[in-house]
Amino acid sequence: MKRPFPFQDFVRAQTVLREAIADEQEGYLLVTGETGTGKTALLRELRGELDRTRTRVLYFSESRRLGAAGFIRVIARQLRAPTSLSHAESLHHLIRALGEESQRLLLWIDEAHDLPEETLAEARALVESDLDGQGGVQVLLAGLPRLRVELQAHPPLWRRVFVREQITGLVREEVPDFLTHHFDGGAARLGDDAQNLLFERAAGSPGMLLPMTRSVLARAGGKGKIDPVLVEELLDRWDLA
C-alpha cells in the first residue's frame, strides 16, 4: 500500500500527536476532520512509528457499537485481567491490571463522534485511575468536526484535552505533487483546469480526490492531455454512480 501523501495539514498533525505520545504527559489527544481528510491514515502512520516493546495500542473503529461493558471487556482480555458479570468488578480488576502493566496503553478510538457517552466515561475513568501520574493510559479520539462540539458539552473532560488537532485537507498548490505521488505519469495528463475541477469537487479531501482522479484516468482513455470538459462530464457521472 502506498503511503499517504505528506500534505501540510497531515504532517503538522502527525508531528504534534507524535510528540504528545512520546511526551507521556497528556491523557487525551484529539484529531478531527471531515471524511476523507486522512485521520485513519494518520493513525496508521503513527502506529507504525511506535516502539511495540514500550506501548500497546488498542484501536477501536466501530464506535457506535462500542458499549461501555464491551469496551472494558475487550481491554481486560488484552491485559489478561479477569472479568465478571458485574461491570463495576470488571472495571476494578482492569484498573488493578493497568497498575501492574509495564507497557503504556494507548486507546485509539476512531469515529469517536459516534461513541456512546457511557463508553467515553469509562475511557476517562481508565485515564484518571492513574493517581501516580505515570501516564499509563492515553486516549486518542478521532472523528468528524462535530466531535469537538460534543466534547465541549462535557467541560470537565474538555478542559483536560490539551492536544487538539484539526485536518482540513489539501491546499490547491499541493495537488500536482499529490497526483504525482499517487499516479506517477498519469498526473501529467491533467492540466491546471482539470486539476482545478478535481480539487474543487473534492473540496481538498485526499480521500475524495484519489478515487475521483482514478476514475477520470481510467475512463478518459488515450495517452494525451485530458480535456477539462471531459473531466467535468466524467466527474458528473462519477457523482451519480
Q: d(Cα 70, Cα 65) in Å, to the nearest integer? A: 9
Supply the pLDDT for residue 85: 75
The enclosing domain of 61 has a CATH number of 3.40.50.300
Indicate if 106 and 50 belong to the same structural domain: yes
Same domain, 162 and 59: yes
Torsion of CA 144, 146, 151, 153, to 10 degrees: -170
106: phi then psi, degrees, rounded to nearest 5: -110, 115
Cell numbers placing 152? 465541549
Domain that residue 206 falls in = 172-240
Indicate if 132 and 224 belong to the same structural domain.
no
Q: Identify the H or E element spanning 33.
A: strand 28-33
Residue 131: pLDDT above 60? Answer: no
Is the pLDDT reported for residue 133 higher than 70?
no
- Note whether 210 and 138 are same-domain residues: no
Task: Give per-residue pLDDT as tens, 142-190.
Answer: 999 999 999 999 999 999 999 999 999 999 999 999 999 998 877 889 9
Query: In the prediction, which pLDDT does 44 show?
Result: 94
Are residues 70 and 159 both part of a single domain? yes
From 138, 167, 196, give the residue that closes a domain: 167
Of the three residues 145, 167, 189, the one that is the final residue of a domain is 167
State mean pLDDT over 128-137: 71
145 lies in the same domain as 217 = no
Last residue of a domain, one of 146, 167, 188: 167
Q: What pLDDT digit, counting tens, does each position of 21-71 carry?
A: 998 888 999 999 999 999 999 999 999 999 888 899 999 988 888 888 888
Domain count, the chain: 2
Q: What's the confidence (pLDDT) of residue 132?
A: 61
**Residue 229 belongs to a domain:** yes
Q: Residue 41: beta bridge partners?
A: none
pLDDT, tens digit, 9 for 90 and up, residues 203-226: 999 999 999 999 999 888 878 899
Mean pLDDT across 235-240: 80
Instruction: Please indicate, yes or no, if residue 183 is contained in any of the structural domains.
Output: yes
In a domain, 59, yes or no: yes
Does residue 160 sit in the same domain as residue 57?
yes
